[in-house]
Structure 1
Amino acid sequence: MRKEVLVTGGAGFIGANFIQYLLDHTSYHIMNIDSLTHSANPEALIEFSRSPFYRFFQVDLRNQDQLNEIFDRQYDAIIHFAALTDVNEKKHSSIDFYDVNVMGTLNLLEKVRQGYARKFVYVSTGKVYGGLEDIERPSKEDAVIQPNNRYVESKVSGEMIVRSFINAFQVPAIITRCSNNYGPYQQKEKLIPTAILNALDDKPIPVYGDGQHVRDWVFVKDHCRAIHTVLEHGKFGEVYNISGGRERSTLNVVKLILDYMNKSHHLIRHVADREEGGRRYALNWEKVNFTLGWKPETSFYNGLIETIEWYTSKQLQQT
């Protein structure tokens, strides 16, 4: 029998790419639920709907009646991407983050505890470790948790609930933490899409502060392959870092984009820095490599080229 999986937040950036990965590489039956916020990708939903193995329902994870309609069967697995993110953090109250990211997770775990799913994968963020100094090694799974904004705090709280259900009810759950993703379907407000789209129109590209904030980048398709690996072979109760091992400064990323697009560096505009905290984030991905055999396969530059070409193609289609 085909596996039936429930993907939450499958209209978002990483969730949409994960569904595309499953459609391309597996025969899973996929149930996608999403509340369709500003970060949703309607175009992806249209593309997915062509598959006979795919279904979509608009669901708010805080709404028990809507959840009860979806949980009319047992799923082989739930892959939980859905979250209110930090894209426009100042527009939301702390209650918003906890209401969606914590209570939504709790409601799903209750369904797992009741036997509606055989496995639960909670997709968290590497930012739970906080920032690193230049000389520090990338964070391992046992590093101290040091969230530095409300979004990350809410993701940590979600992790703690997952752990409590593992310990109290033996819920078959796994936690993943990823570094910065890039690739198709990412929100336009993020660094790489903004740089590409502004460069296409010869508009200034805002770079925060001195542009020396360093992030560890992973191509979203590599991330999706890692989640699938964890889903199939990961050990219940474990945490797995997923990273590209590609540390780059903001300024370096923007210059690479401009160089490939044959655009002038004069488009770069330094703007006031954000109060986000953390000049550098980086994850150690040895555990998922040694125990499950996963490793990033896409070089940063090749992934960046694919991303540039994707956004360029979409932009041309709209003109």
Structure 2
Amino acid sequence: MTAISNEKVIVFGASGFLGSHVADALTAAGYQVRLFDRVASPFLKSNQEMIVGDIMNLEQVIEAAKGASIVYNFAAIADIDEAHDKPIPTATINVLGNMHTLEAARIAGARRFVFASTVYVYSESGSFYRASKQAAERFTETYHERYGLDYNILRYGSLYGRRADQRNGIYRMLREAIEHHSITYKGSGEAMREYIHVEDAARMSVQVLAPEFANRHLILTGQEKLRIRDVMTMISEMMPWPVELHFDEANTVHHYKITPYAFQPKIGRKLVLNEHVDLGQGMLDCLREIHQDLHHGDENGDATPATPDNRA
């Protein structure tokens, strides 16, 4: 989607994994992009504006959103395991923080508000993280009902790609394979996921600004289901050394197994791209990033992950 005469967009939570990629996709589409986060983005581009602030400070949020016609909110406690142990901070940041961005969008006269939710809103899993996203979705819908603020609710699935960290499942497995020559998964390995590359998710997060997607709940996940066990096997086959696979079934985490879906009244439409990043190629790219980080930018460190062309 092409921007309308260099529209101004603000992205809250723009220094993080997903938010930074969406900010870049918006810039590539021609929008004037303002980033807002507690720390300056290490990925900031020369044609982007950075504001360092706290989403819990309503005055800062309102001031930052002035002049923006589109508001994205990615600011959240997004790690399920962290949220499970921190119900009050999770509710405060994920629900009240989202209300601050909604209020700022309303005051700014924004034409669209985009909220980053999760497929876990459908699930019986996800603990306080799920509950916080469900509540934030309802406040977003109610702002539309009360004030006419058009919105998108984007329910992201299992993301992976560059700029991730230890909280990301694929990143964690890849790093373990490099550093320890083994991968440990908390669970049986039979859990199913539809992995989506973060750059694909970012492009779709911009496409939803088209008029036909206004006030829609959209599901952004991968194109095929894979067992965690099979993903771990893929990673082991990419490495130039043997990788042991371990399954810690005694310490299963608070994630869904086969599907996140349990009956909910608000049904989302799945949005897919005709062209998308292949999972294997995407993981190889992540491996290169991790390898470079571990060797301080040296692409020719001790070993390089195998590619489909140089491994039998």
Partner of 1:140: none
| Contact 2:150–2:215, Cα closer than 8 Å, also in 1 | yes
User: 1:273 Cα shift?
Assistant: 2.9
| Contact 1:147–1:156, Cα closer than 8 Å, also in 2 | no
Normalising by structure 2, report the TM-score: 0.84
Of the three residues 227, 233, 236, the one matched with 2:214 is 236
Which blocks of at least 5 consecutive residues in structure 1 are unaligned? Answer: 37-41, 131-145
Matched, 1:35 2:13: no
User: 1:219 Cα shift?
Assistant: 0.9
User: 1:108 Cα shift?
Assistant: 1.4
User: 1:295 Cα shift?
Assistant: 4.0
Partner of 2:226: 248
| Contact 1:21–1:224, Cα closer than 8 Å, also in 2 | yes
Could you say what secondary structure the match of 1:269 adopts?
strand
User: 1:234 Cα shift?
Assistant: 4.3
Matched, 1:119 2:124: no
Matched, 1:301 2:280: yes
User: 1:35 Cα shift?
Assistant: 2.1
Correspondence 1:11-160 to 2 at 5 A: 11-23=15-27, 25-36=28-39, 45-49=41-45, 51=46, 53-71=47-65, 73-89=66-82, 92-130=85-123, 146=124, 148-160=126-138
Q: Deviations over 1:222-278 (max 9, x none)?
A: 111111100234432211111212211222112211211223132x23223324152
Matched, 1:8 2:2: no
Q: Deviations over 1:198-220 (max 9, x none)?
A: 22223432211221111111111
| Contact 1:243–1:285, Cα closer than 8 Å, also in 2 | no
Correspondence 1:197-236 to 2 at 5 A: 197-236=175-214
| Contact 1:87–1:190, Cα closer than 8 Å, also in 2 | no
Partner of 1:161: 139
Counterpart amino acid of 1:66? Q
Could you say what secondary structure the match of 2:213 adopts?
coil
Counterpart amino acid of 1:270? F
Change (3 A) 1:277 1:196: closer
User: 1:282 Cα shift?
Assistant: 6.1
| Contact 1:218–1:296, Cα closer than 8 Å, also in 2 | no
Q: Deviations over 1:15-69 (max 9, x none)?
A: 112123233x222211111124xxxxx6xx23424x1x21112221111232243
Partner of 1:261: 239
RMSD in angstroms over aligned alpha carbons?
2.4
Could you say what secondary structure the match of 2:251 adopts?
coil
* % identical equivalent positions: 21
Change (3 A) 1:148 1:287: closer
Which blocks of at least 5 consecutive residues in structure 2 are unaligned? Answer: 262-266, 299-312
Of the three residues 284, 295, 300, the one matched with 1:316 is 295
Correspondence 1:178-197 to 2 at 5 A: 178-197=156-175
Counterpart amino acid of 1:304? M
Could you say what secondary structure the match of 2:218 adopts?
strand
Could you say what secondary structure the match of 2:103 adopts?
helix
Q: Deviations over 1:122-176 (max 9, x none)?
A: 111011111xxxxxxxxxxxxxxx5641011101100000111111211111111
Q: How many angstroms apart in 2 are the aligned matches of 1:220 and 1:242?
A: 10
Normalising by structure 1, report the TM-score: 0.82
